[in-house]
Amino acid sequence: MKQFNKTLLVAALMVAAGSANANISVNNGNSELFMSVYDSSSKNTYSLNTGLTIDAFMAAAMDVNYTYTYDLSSDNVWVSSFLGAAGFNAATTVYALAVASNINPDVLLTSSAAGGLALADNDQVVNTFVDNIKSQAGMINPIGISKVVNDGGVANTGQFNQFDTVFGNQTGAQVAGAYGSTLAFFHETNVYDAVLDSPVPVIEAFAGSWTLAGNTLSFAAPAPAPVPLPAAVWLFGAGLMGMLRLNRRKSMAV
């Protein structure tokens, strides 16, 4: 992964996040991460271009302290056309985020399965992921920042009513997760194996996860769990307090 000056990288991400510009289906490291949210009750799909390019995101996410937050409450398309649509039901709503580039190739993809996406033992799987994500991106590109489409049974309208088949049936993985839930995020690519003399698929999990809850889309690594003190420390503390109380009593008795 490329190394960037941290200050310049943060600045670049801020600019990108505020100026998404319909690059989600291009074929290089400037491809932009997009989110689609589908409600099977209203049959509406909300699509968002986050403005985060695959190159910039992968570089930033190397830092476990990297976070990203997008406030959807300022987007009238989300508030009025999706959440406010007739028949909207949060309980039947799912979401996913994805981006792909054919340079390496690279795929960034959410999954509700903490164990990630099961890859077959050939590099064509990753290439298929790339092609399917680019195809889906093309259906909703250009979108500017966001849009809502009612599928209405019409093909190629950018609707995501079949998340797992949109990306091919090769894994059976749960690409999407429930609205309000947290999704793991994975990077998939092909790496040349000198022993096999051919590229092989590899997958790695980002430290951070995506959450779409209420009007907020966010990416962050979980806070580290507090380290419990060993039992010996508590015993030592209790013994020390006992000795202090005993000394105090002796002092008062004198």
Among 105, 189, 140, 157, smallest CA distance to 34 is for 140
Phi, psi (5° rounding) for residue 116? 90, -165
Measure the CA–CA gap between 148 and 158, rounded to whole angstroms.
9
List beta partners, residue 100: 107
Residue 43: which residues within 8 A CB-CB, separation 6 or more? 87, 150, 151, 152, 159, 161
The DSSP output letter for 3 is: -
- Say yes or no to pLDDT of 247 above 60: no
Q: Confidence class of residue 13 from pLDDT cuts 50, 70 and 90?
A: very low
Query: Which helix or strand (DSSP H or E) is residue 150 part of?
Result: strand 146-150
Most confident of 108-117, 167-176, 190-199, 243-252: 190-199
Average pLDDT, the chain: 77
Phi, psi (5° rounding) for residue 107? -135, 130
The DSSP output letter for 195 is: T
Percent share of the chain, pLDDT over 70: 66
Could you read off the pLDDT of 71-99 as tens digits, one per residue? 999 999 999 999 999 999 999 999 999 99
Q: What does pTM read for this prediction?
A: 0.77
Angle, vertex CA 60, rays to CA 33 and CA 70, nearest 5: 50
pLDDT of residue 237: 53
Phi, psi (5° rounding) for residue 96? -155, 155
Residue 111 CB-density burial (10 A; 0-12 exposed, 13-18 middle, 19+ buried): buried
Measure the CA–CA gap between 160 and 139, rounded to whole angstroms.
10
Residue 176: which residues within 8 A CB-CB, separation 6 or more? 38, 94, 95, 96, 110, 112, 160, 163, 164, 183
Q: Where are the domains of the chain?
A: 6-229
